[in-house]
A = this chain, B = another copy of it.
Amino acid sequence: MSYQPINLAQKFGLFVEQWQPKVIAEMNDYQFKIVKLEGDFVWHDHQDTDETFIVLDGELRIDFRDGAVTLGAGEMFVVPKGVEHKPYAAKETKVMLIEPRGVKNTGHEGGERTAENDVWI
């Protein structure tokens, strides 16, 4: 049988739109999503789950109500459940998100940044 690796750079080459996470793999009930970010996201939290950010290219700042963390390429951070956060990228940044299937990108905040869920690429 032929098995194919999932190549992150190749997957990022398949779309241009920002703030629209694309699912590239599943592990049990978790999804690996890639997304291009630029500018400000909205303040939100996820009441039921932690959320993992891995930066593949660029620089991502995650603001918290009491501080911030800045991630460069090859750096990751796990935002604990229930913790309000706001991602920000000064220029386009490529990020992999890992979280349970069904998590909405804006939590319960809604708004224009809310993306369709479970879009595979």
Contact = CB atoms under 8 A, between A and B. Distances in A.
B4 A69 contact: yes
B5 A32 contact: no
A70 B25 contact: no
Given A25-B52, A52-B25, A52-B32, A3 B64 contact: yes
Nearest to A50: B27
Interface centre among A5, A8, A26 (most CB of B within 10 A): A5
Nearest to A55: B5
Interface stretch (A36-44, A73-81, A107-115): A73-81
Say which size band chain A's interface belongs to: 35 or more
Given A68-B3, A69-B4, A71-B5, A76 B32 contact: yes
How many copies, total? 2
A62 B72 CA distance: 29
A18 interface: no
Contact of A5 (B3, B28, B66, B69): B69
A49 B78 CA distance: 21
Interface in A3-46: 3-9, 25-28, 30, 32
Contacts of A25: 52, 76, 78
